[in-house]
Chains A and B, each alone.
Chain A
């Protein structure tokens, strides 16, 4: 079973890998010292799949994506490692080449659609601009394309609204327009940087649905950056949890959600409000604040805030940087975490976490089949059909 799974897995890897990032480091030289915004991140993403990058502010999730897009061109920025987009290296590529790739190969949606759209140009003009720069078409064709796209992302009477300015659009419509702009050249990779943070809760769900629908339709790979774990549960196949510029846990969404293997992931889940728990229960925030990226704590960067560091022998947490290793025996094939806790300790820690108020209902319902609840929600995403079975196995 495991062997065949491995083979098929590697086959997919060879054929359909849109984005492959390995040991990416992004450092900024500042007057106060070297800011290690991203320090050794690796992940890969297949066509039609969704990766969620999760973490607190300053954990390096946005910087990772800006590096992929080639938007970090400051002279104090040092980027090392490898970024392969469709087999093409981006780190060593010329700026002009990366510019040509932005649009037809990769596109990005930003957090605040109001400030991300130019206030002086019509929405249609801004979409046409993106289409015209990469395609040899007339203005009329580009305009038609803009109208079609606006219709596709759910703007009513697009032929009229195409000449509106961003300030005449509502927040949700602006984000739809941003999505239309990003999709104008059929990119293979779509990066959404907290696409719903600036929106009303009711609109958030619509925008997420829209992204998933379009993903199914266009078959692109999607990276969603978020700190909203509700979003993660709903849309993603894979999760990458980042802390202080480093990956601390990665794996299939269902596995990471049902059995977080890193105390930080557990903490994130514990600080998320849920509707399915008793009202009197309190949230469990992670104590402390995110570390400075100039003086990252020694060893495991999370150890000053970690509740479990006493359970690790010696002073390993402060002395030794934990490697990102496969988590046994649960959590799927690619479930990895960077933590010194032994598997037994981790099992114990998880049981404790599950027994706290936040996880009572969840743990009770999910004990026969871990992650069934999450699987149910993520099953709605068109592209994640096979991931639950992977975990069940």
Chain B
């Protein structure tokens, strides 16, 4: 209409993405504050003082000297906002832990020191990350493709044999926990028929084939659970959109049934599936605890379990921050994808 309307119309996508990224940064800051409070502020409300906090870092038989030194080194007597600020700066720029002559440097991104093995947290997490990444991304591709395909086929012929069989399987997939399906898969494929190796993880750079072989069973086990969920979601969404007026219009203009289903039906049904997908993938990147434990994979999930068992606060905090980071980023990507899929979102 008027030329003034042309201005915001020009790059709605770019402004949308910028807005969304800024919001993501704010969200991550909020997460870091909350995490910091959980581990360093709430214990003080519960009556724990700096000495008791520092005692955990010192070792089995803490002397009061060593504790005092540790309090100073970690800056536990400083005001809480200062401590938080140092933690935050440490993530970006690294941190020097100073206790007189005893200086320890924690290179960026510094998520603190583990007091169990006196190592920085970040390198430990980066060692575990590729395992979880391989597992989660591979399984995600599998379940997204499989689940959506099964869901679409079921929705096209509701009540058919395919529909009933796949929805029955889906119900089983949703209800059976991974430590059960994983054990069954291990029993059959690894021990009885010995098609795939039983457990462990091989670095992809060391041996790509072994990497793949070790991942097949975890992928399938993890994907089975999610594919079941996605098949049901897709089916419900497709049954709804295939009854929409615009699908009737697509048929009325003589489009082939394939493009009616995929271009017009599925595209509209995909939006809610994408939302869940972002959350699920983000969550899994923070550690697929059950799968990693079942298949003895040294990923972030196992790292988390060990950290909790050892009450290793910096490690737990680091893994919480990392998981939050993945979830927030995944959701941001989903929001941006939303705008790509649905033009009405861009102006909102």
Given the interface contacts A120-B267, A165-B344, does A115 sit within 8 Å of B254 by beta carbon? no
B191 interface residue per 8 A CB criterion: no
Closest to A95 in B: B257
Q: Which residues of A contact B255 (CB under 8 A)?
A: 99, 129-130, 133
A222 to chain B, nearest CB (A): 15
Show 6 A/B contacts (Cβ-Cβ < 8 Å), sorted by A.
A104-B254, A115-B244, A118-B249, A119-B246, A133-B256, A134-B254
Shortest CB-to-CB span from B270 to chain A, Å, is 10
Tally of B interface residues using CB under 8 Å: 21
Q: In the assembled complex, which residues on chain A have CB atoms less than 8 Å from the CB atom of B250?
A: 118, 129
Q: Does B253 lie within 8 Å of A120, measured CB to CB?
A: no
Chain A 118-145 against B: per-residue CB contact (8 Å), 1 yes, 0 no? 1110100010011001100000000000
Contact A110 B249, beta carbon cutoff 8 Å: yes
How many Å lie between the Cα of A129 and that of B342 in the bound state? 18
- 1/0 per residue, CB under 8 A from B, across A208-252: the answer is 000000000000000000000000000000000000000000000
With A116-B246, A117-B246, A118-B246 known to touch, is A130 a contact of B344 (CB < 8 Å)? no
Contact of A349 with B by CB under 8 A: no
With a cutoff of 8 Å between Cβ atoms, the chain A residues found around residue B235 in the complex are: none
Taking the complex as formed, is B248 at the interface, i.e. its CB lies under 8 A from any CB of chain A? yes
Query: A131's closest neighbor in chain B, by CB?
Result: B253
Q: Is the CB of B252 closer than 8 A to any CB of chain A?
A: yes
Which A residues fall within an 8 A CB radius of B?
69, 71, 99-104, 107-108, 110, 112, 115-120, 122, 126, 129-130, 133-134, 165, 167, 178, 181-182, 184-185
Contact B252 A115 (CB under 8 A): no
Q: Could you say which residues of chain B place their CB within 8 Å of the CB of A112? A: 245
Q: How far is the CA of A311 from the CA of B56 in the complex (A)?
A: 103
A112 to B244, alpha carbons, bound, how many Å?
Answer: 11
State the total of A-B contacts with C-beta under 8 angstroms: 74
Of B246, B254, B257, B268, the contact of A130 (CB 8 Å cutoff) = B254
CB of B343 closer than 8 Å to a CB of A: yes
Q: List chain B residues, Cβ under 8 A from A117.
A: 246, 249
Evaluate contact between A100 and B254: CB separation under 8 angstroms.
Answer: yes
List of B residues within 8 angstroms of A133 by Cβ = 253-256, 259
| Pick from B244, B251, B344: contact of A71, CB under 8 Å | B251
Q: Which residue of A lies closest to B251 (CB)?
A: A71
A142 CB to closest chain B CB (Å) equals 13
C-alpha spacing A117/B264, complex, angstroms: 10
Contact A120 B268 (CB under 8 A): yes
| Selected contact of B253 from candidates A103, A119, A165, CB within 8 Å | A103
- On whether the beta carbons of B248 and A110 are closer than 8 Å, the reply is yes
- Indicate if B341 sits at the interface (CB-CB under 8 A): yes
> B348 CB to closest chain A CB, in angstroms?
11
- Chain B, residues 310-344, CB within 8 Å of chain A (1/0): the string is 00000000000000000000000000000001111
Query: A117–B245 Cα gap in the complex (Å)?
Result: 8
Contacts of A122 in B (CB 8 A): 343
Give which listed residue, B254, B259, B268, B344, contacts A103 with CB less than 8 A: B254
Given A110-B249, A118-B250, A167 and B344 contact (CB-CB distance below 8 Å): yes
Residues of A within 8 A of B264 (CB): 118
| B254 neighbours in A (Cβ, 8 Å) | 99-104, 130, 133-134, 185
B318 to chain A, nearest CB (A): 40
With known contacts A112-B245, A115-B244, A107–B344 Cβ distance under 8 A: no
**Contacts of A100 on B, CB cut-off 8 Å?**
254
Residues of B near A118 (CB, < 8 A) are 246, 249-250, 264, 268
